[in-house]
């Protein structure tokens, strides 16, 4: 997922309570706080900073977007936290030789991959960068979220300088796929008016059995699945699934 021109706008609007929930899930389910941790598609580093502040000794952020990593560096400096920042594509990062005890990927990041081949490629890269018996934790939105909740969803927000519109639509010719139309109107002093910034983001997901099959094919075992940030068992109406798997 590449936020391009509105990385900072997205970062400013992202729900801080969600980061606290991901932190709680990570704190509860990660087996090793002492080993190296890589946050895959870690964006602006807000979760990584929370983890570093709460006992994780060595945390790295990996993201496709240089702009997001620039924000991560700014946030880390403000928090007086040392983060390792890595720019790359989650589908292919074999040039990175470091091994990690834990790799995480939250906030729908895997749902932006185009197909199961890209998901499998990412899983294989994760496995190759984990230490023996290393742990992989990630979340994905469920088919209920793409097929029932998101189609027709709208959210609007504004303050004195910025307005934000989010509309979501189902994609008829693609199973469990949704498009998000994100539009910002940002006040620009140079023109004494508002500048429109818009992007379309596509998310897709699969059934649990597909994720399990791909994880096993990539070399993972002991796959555990939960909902509600690890607080509940999966139900047909769970909006997000949380996976924990061990490198075989």
202-241 pLDDT, tens per residue? 999 999 999 999 999 999 999 999 999 999 999 999 999 9
**pLDDT the model gives residue 11:** 74
| Cα-based distances in Å from 86 to 18, 52, 122, 240 | 23, 16, 16, 27
CA atoms of 35 and 236, how far apart (whole Å): 35
Q: pLDDT tens for residues 137-156? A: 999 999 999 999 999 999 99
- The radius of gyration of the chain's CA atoms, rounded to the nearest angstrom, is 18
- Residue 54's beta-bridge partner residues? none
Element (H, E) at 67: helix 66-79
Domains along the chain?
Answer: 4-142+205-247 (3.40.50.150), 145-204 (2.20.25.110)
8 A C-beta contact, residue 60 and residue 93: no
78/57 Cα distance (integer angstroms): 18
Q: Of the spans 5-14, 135-144, 182-191, which averages the highest pLDDT?
A: 135-144
Q: Is the dihedral of CA 116, 119, 123, 128 positive or negative?
A: positive
Using one digit for the tens of pLDDT, what is the confidence trace for 188-213? 888 888 888 888 999 999 999 999 99
**Averaged pLDDT, 29-43:** 94
The least confident of 35-44, 113-122, 154-163 is: 154-163
Helix (H) or strand (E) segment spanning residue 20: helix 16-29
What's the mean per-residue pLDDT of the chain? 93
Asked whether residue 91 carries a pLDDT value surpassing 50, the answer given is: yes
55 is written with which tokens? 């006992």
Report the chain's terminal Cα–Cα distance, integer Å. Answer: 28
Sorted by sequence, the CB contacts under 8 Å of residue 181 that are 6+ apart come out as 165, 166, 167, 168, 169, 198, 200
Between 242 and 19, where is the model more confident?
242
Q: Is residue 93 over pLDDT 50?
A: yes
């Amino acid at each position: 997922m590449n936020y391009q021109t509105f990385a900072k706008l997205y970062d400013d609007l992202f729900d801080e309570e969600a980061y606290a929930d991901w932190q709680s899930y990570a704190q509860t389910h990660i087996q090793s706080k002492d080993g190296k941790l890589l946050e895959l598609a870690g964006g602006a580093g807000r979760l990584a900073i929370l983890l570093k502040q709460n006992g994780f000794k060595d945390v790295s952020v990996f993201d496709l977007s240089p702009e997001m990593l620039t924000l991560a560096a700014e946030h880390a400096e403000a928090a007086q936290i040392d983060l390792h920042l890595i720019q790359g594509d989650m589908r292919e990062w074999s040039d990175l030789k470091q091994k990690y005890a834990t790799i995480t990927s939250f906030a729908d990041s895997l749902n932006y991959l185009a197909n199961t081949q890209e998901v499998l490629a990412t899983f294989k890269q994760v496995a190759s960068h984990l230490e023996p018996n290393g742990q992989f934790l990630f979340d994905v939105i469920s088919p209920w979220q793409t097929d029932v909740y998101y189609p027709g969803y709208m959210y609007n927000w504004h303050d004195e300088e910025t307005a934000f519109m989010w509309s979501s639509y189902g994609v008829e010719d693609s199973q469990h796929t949704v498009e998000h139309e994100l539009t910002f109107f940002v006040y620009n002093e140079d023109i004494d008016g508002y500048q429109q910034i818009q992007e379309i983001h596509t998310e897709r997901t699969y059934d649990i059995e597909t994720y399990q099959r791909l994880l096993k094919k990539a070399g993972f075992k002991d796959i555990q699945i939960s909902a509600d940030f690890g607080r509940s068992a999966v139900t047909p109406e769970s909006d997000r699934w949380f996976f924990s798997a061990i490198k075989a």
